């Protein structure tokens, strides 16, 4: 059974960099069949796709983050990571990592709350 688990600081100061890691168990992130994404959800609101990475290292991002997001892979640790630079209060949200299949997301982490505040 594939499992994903997010980790990282729950509190980030404005203008700093948000860094999160997703650890995948029960399957290899090097499998070319899937891709790996980050998705966020502000409290009481809808879901926003942040970006994705394939096992080749190829990435795509949501332009709404204005090039502030970077997703990377660490195949030795079976992890992938998210960095968002120059954060503001608008980046406060629950952050999920997820496995993408054809385009749908079949496995999700439990989510980690990130608050941007001084």
Give the interface with other proteins as residue ranges (CB under 8 A): 37, 45-49, 52, 60, 62-63, 96, 98, 101-106, 108-111
Min separation Cβ 16 and other proteins, Å: 26
Q: CA 90 → CA 33, 38, 84, 113, distances in Å?
A: 33, 16, 12, 13
* Between 12 and 109, CB nearer to other proteins: 109
User: Between residues 37 and 92, which has the closer beta carbon with respect to other proteins?
Assistant: 37
Distance in Å, CB of 76 to other proteins, minimum: 26
Nearest CA to 57 among 41, 80, 27? 80
Query: Smallest gap, in angstroms, from Cβ of residue 102 to other proteins?
Result: 7
- Which residues, in sequence order, are CB contacts of 112 under 8 Å at separation 6+? 6, 7, 8, 10, 20, 94, 95
Q: For other proteins, which is the closer residue by CB, 61 or 87?
A: 61
Q: Which is nearer to other proteins, 60 or 88 (CB)?
A: 60
Taking the C-alpha atoms of residue 76 and residue 4, their distance in angstroms, rounded to an integer, is 16
Residue recorded with tokens 């966020």: 40
Q: How many other CB atoms are there within 10 angstroms of residue 53's CB atom?
A: 23
């Amino acid at each position: 059974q594939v499992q994903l688990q997010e980790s990282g600081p729950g509190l980030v100061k404005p203008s700093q960099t948000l860094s999160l890691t997703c650890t995948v168990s029960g399957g290899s992130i090097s499998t070319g069949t899937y891709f790996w994404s980050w998705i966020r959800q502000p409290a009481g609101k809808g879901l926003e796709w942040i970006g994705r990475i394939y096992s080749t290292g190829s990435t795509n991002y949501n332009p709404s983050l204005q090039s502030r997001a970077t997703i990377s892979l660490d195949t030795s640790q079976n992890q992938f990571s998210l960095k968002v630079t120059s954060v503001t209060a608008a980046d406060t949200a629950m952050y999920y990592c997820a496995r993408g299949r054809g385009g749908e997301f079949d496995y999700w982490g439990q989510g980690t709350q990130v608050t941007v505040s001084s």
